[in-house]
Amino acid sequence: MGTVTVQELDSVVIRFAGDSGDGMQLTGERFGNVSGILGNDIATFPDFPAEIRAPAGTTYGVSAYQVQIADYDVTTPGDTLDVLVAMNPAALKVHLPDVVRGGIVIVNTDGFTQHNLDRAGYTSNPLEDGTLQGYRVYRIPMTTLTLEAVKEVEGIGKKEAERSKNFFALGVVSWLFGRNPEVTEEWIRQKFRSSPAVMEANLKAFRAGYHYGETAEIFEAVYRVKPARLEPGLYRNITGNQAMALGLVAAAHQARLTLYYASYPITPASDLLHELARLKNFGVKTFQAEDEIAAAGAALGASYGGALGVTGTSGPGLDLKQETIGLAVMLELPLVVIDNQRGGPSTGLPTKSEQTDLLTALFGRHGEAPLPVIAAYSPAHCFWAALEAVRIALKYRTPLILLSDGYIANASEPFRIPSLDELPEIAVSFASEPNRDGEFWPYLRDPETLARPWVLPGTPGLEHRVGGLEKDERGRVSYDFANHDRMVKTRAEKVRRIARDIPPARLDADGGAELLVVSWGSTWGSVAAAVRRLRERGVRMAWTHLVHLNPLPPNLGEVVKSFPKVVVPENNLGQLLKVIRAEYLVDAKGVNSVEGRPFRASDLEEAFLEVLGERAAEGAR
């Protein structure tokens, strides 16, 4: 390796970028997975256009995948790039601004044809005109080298051969960061086992890239990121959607119920349907409905039938489901509604992420129709959030909205696989007997939880009717003034009482902290990083991250009132902020960005300092 030096880093951020058809998602995901397997902590961020395959070479057709690998527990994919792999001019144009000065830029020079330069809107070639000054640039004719490497593979035409160039790029980067090539090679063998020629081509391209790094002597240094110290256990990388799907299956298993997932496809929730549709041998029933209303209706019908009814969607679909969710409030049946929030309003930015559905989750139904709302905060947490959602919905016979978002749905991180006995108990019992003087009263409640009995149709003697009209305890339609008032208040009280049954808000506070950060959902990662960095800078910080958004943890009032300043960072215009202010009358401030992507930790750092005011900011220097 001659003069190549080895540099130790605690973390590195790499982004792979190219055309939608260049396979960057696969490459980035692969690099992340390998790094996970090799013991790093990782956080990833896929970012792709709303178009399926936007015209080649255009800036809006660029698809990118970002990975942060670290020797500590990272919580974000990183604010800025240490390494950019750009397969064409458009990718360079879009993503170069994010590379740190002095960072590494690896370009596929074959992609820099005049046509592609024009497409990207470059008037001169950035590889030659000084654009890349100040970066460490590696120019590699990846397409040529891939074709060369693949040429002896039989049954692969030139076009197909070219397609392997992402594996060449992966090979180069794998070498640069000392990623053991065998893991990826084995994976390629598995993944493409049904088309041996493609497998062969990809293997050859990958190896060629790896060896290119080793032999081309263009790199002055290679980098090493040590394994992170994670909680011992068995791990896998997991996206939020995968974790959510597994969480639902696990919850149904714990509750001994059939999982019934009804959905209408929508980005970024469709993968939940895809994941679950494959699990037929688990008895999972999936139903692709004609629209979101039908999906909610079928899930609710399934719950009525005694299954675990779940329906997943994103914002526009949530709007449509609300009337049916309101019916579920009235029927008092379990129903888990998953909302993977995306950029709104309306169709907005469908492949981007934000946190703008909290208020509609809380209040977006006519009438007084309260329900519990919880939010997942990271890809792996989706697993646990799903279990908690199911637990509450089943126990309290209530629809519940579980919020995730486009970012954590598609991003991935290592997930410590729990053993089955780490999973919560979820006990369900169905009514089998009359409950009042030989009669069955469907709205006679459990005095503790206020939940009504759940009956399996088919149970003799308990035949009864439920419906959206107001009822009395006996289940009869009632237009009585006082009954309605009481029922409205009882349904609200039932939801309020869930507060007794959830963990208190966890406060992570330095003694003497002046500023409390209150966050929820996917901002968790950026807030964690920002808080850590501020602490490193000597600022005392307090932080609480909420999973339960309705009801709020019972100690939250006390927590928010214990700090002179409270800030609520959100990727919306201040939705939790409104709730906190109304609930506790504290003058909390919002930090709000609605850019369709998570906060940069550094932006939060600055924003928190600003809230703290000069004094604190100075203290930090």
Ligand X SMILES: Cc1ncc(C[n+]2csc(CCOP(=O)(O)OP(=O)(O)O)c2C)c(N)n1
- Look up residue 431 and give its DSSP letter: B
First to last CA, the chain: 42
Cα separation, 78 vs 100, in Å, equals: 11
Would you give the binding string for ligand X spanning residues 274-313, x where CB under 6 A is met?
------------------x---------------------
Would you give the binding string for a copy of itself spanning residues 584-603, x where CB under 8 A is met?
-xxx-----xxxxx------
| Residue 282 contact partner, candidates other proteins, a copy of itself, ligand X, none, CB within 5 to 8 A by sort of partner | other proteins
Q: In b/e form, how buried is each residue of 119-141, taking b as 16+ CB within 10 angstroms?
A: bbebeeebbeeebbeebebbebb
| Residue 288 contact partner, candidates a copy of itself, other proteins, ligand X, none, CB within 5 to 8 A by sort of partner | other proteins
Cα separation, 569 vs 575, in Å, equals: 10
* C-beta closer to a copy of itself: residue 181 or 317: 317
Q: Which range binds a copy of itself by CB under 8 A, 195-203, 468-476, 510-518, 519-527?
A: 468-476
Please, which of residues 32-61 interact with ligand SF4 by CB under 6 A?
A: 52-53
Q: Which range binds other proteins by CB under 8 A, 170-178, 201-209, 270-278, 372-380?
A: 270-278
Query: What distances in angstroms separate CA 39 from CA 34, 195, 232, 524, 536, one per listed residue?
Result: 9, 31, 11, 22, 25
Query: CB of residue 62 vs a copy of itself: minimum separation in angstroms?
Result: 10
Residue 343 in contact with a copy of itself, rule: CB under 8 A? yes
Query: CB of residue 41 vs a copy of itself: minimum separation in angstroms?
Result: 26
Would you give the binding string for other proteins spanning residues 344-363, x where CB under 8 A is met?
--xx----------------
* C-beta closer to ligand X: residue 86 or 266: 266
Give 344's contacts (C-beta < 8 A, 6+ positions apart): 315, 316, 354, 356, 357
Triad 245, 344, 611: Cα angle to 5°: 95
Cβ atoms of 202 and 167 within 8 Å: the answer is yes
Query: What distances in angstroms separate CA 82 from CA 42, 154, 257, 357, one per listed residue?
Result: 15, 38, 48, 33
* Chosen residue from 44, 324, 355, 519 binding other proteins by CB under 8 A: 324
Q: Which range binds a copy of itself by CB under 8 A, 63-71, 77-85, 528-536, 574-582?
A: 574-582
* C-beta closer to ligand X: residue 30 or 321: 321
* Chosen residue from 488, 499, 617, 620 binding a copy of itself by CB under 8 A: 488
| Residue 117 contact partner, candidates other proteins, a copy of itself, ligand X, none, CB within 5 to 8 A by sort of partner | none
Sign of CA dihedral 612, 614, 619, 621: positive
* C-beta closer to ligand SF4: residue 61 or 247: 61
- Look up residue 132 and give its DSSP letter: T
* C-beta closer to a copy of itself: residue 236 or 484: 484
* Chosen residue from 65, 138, 206, 235 binding other proteins by CB under 8 A: 235
Cβ atoms of 475 and 462 within 8 Å: the answer is no
* C-beta closer to a copy of itself: residue 147 or 371: 371
Please, which of residues 475-534 interact with other proteins by CB under 8 A?
A: 476-477
Measured in whole angstroms, the distance separating CA 292 from the mean position of its chain's CA atoms is: 21
Give 573's contacts (C-beta < 8 A, 6+ positions apart): 356, 590, 592, 594
Please, which of residues 381-420 interact with other proteins by CB under 8 A?
A: 416-420
Cα separation, 122 vs 111, in Å, equals: 13
| Residue 266 contact partner, candidates a copy of itself, ligand X, ligand SF4, none, CB within 5 to 8 A by sort of partner | ligand X
Q: Which range binds other proteins by CB under 8 A, 294-302, 424-432, 481-489, 516-524?
A: 294-302
One-letter amino acid at 4 equals V
Cβ atoms of 449 and 396 within 8 Å: the answer is yes
* C-beta closer to other proteins: residue 407 or 415: 415
Is 481 buried (19+), middle (13-18) or exposed (0-12) by CB count in 10 A? exposed
Cα separation, 316 vs 301, in Å, equals: 22
Query: CB of residue 300 vs ligand X: minimum separation in angstroms?
Result: 16
Cβ neighbour number for residue 437 with a 10 Å cutoff: 6
| Binding-residue total with other proteins (CB under 8 A) | 100
* Chosen residue from 28, 61, 213, 265 binding ligand X by CB under 6 A: 265
Triad 412, 417, 423: Cα angle to 5°: 120
3-state secondary structure 513-577: CCEEEEEEHHHHHHHHHHHHHHHHCCCCEEEEEECEEECCCCCHHHHHHCCCEEEEEECCCCHHH
Query: Is the previous residue joined to 551 through a cis bond, with omega within 30 degrees of 0?
Result: yes
* Chosen residue from 69, 225, 262, 566 binding other proteins by CB under 8 A: 262
Please, which of residues 312-331 interact with a copy of itself by CB under 8 A?
A: 314-316, 318-320, 322-323, 326-327, 329-330
| Residue 265 contact partner, candidates ligand X, a copy of itself, ligand SF4, none, CB within 5 to 8 A by sort of partner | ligand X
Task: For the chain, give the number of residues.
Answer: 621
* C-beta closer to a copy of itself: residue 169 or 330: 330
| Residue 341 contact partner, candidates other proteins, ligand X, a copy of itself, none, CB within 5 to 8 A by sort of partner | a copy of itself
Cα separation, 296 vs 405, in Å, equals: 19
| Residue 286 contact partner, candidates a copy of itself, ligand SF4, other proteins, none, CB within 5 to 8 A by sort of partner | other proteins
Rg (CA), the chain: 27
Query: CB of residue 92 vs other proteins: minimum separation in angstroms?
Result: 20
| Binding-residue total with ligand SF4 (CB under 6 A) | 2
* C-beta closer to a copy of itself: residue 242 or 360: 360
Quick one: which H or E segment has residue 285? strand 285-288
* Chosen residue from 140, 250, 386, 591 binding other proteins by CB under 8 A: 250
Give backbone dihedrals phi and psi of 480, rounded to 5 degrees, phi first.
-70, 135
* Chosen residue from 158, 193, 256, 278 binding other proteins by CB under 8 A: 278
- Rule CB under 6 A: which residues touch ligand SF4? 52-53
- Interface residues with ligand X (CB under 6 A)? 264-266, 292, 316-317, 320, 347
Q: Residue numbers of the site for a copy of itself (CB under 8 A)?
A: 49-50, 60, 314-316, 318-320, 322-323, 326-327, 329-330, 339, 341, 343-352, 354, 356-357, 359-360, 362-370, 467-470, 479, 481-482, 484-485, 488-489, 491-492, 572-573, 578-579, 581-583, 585-587, 593-597
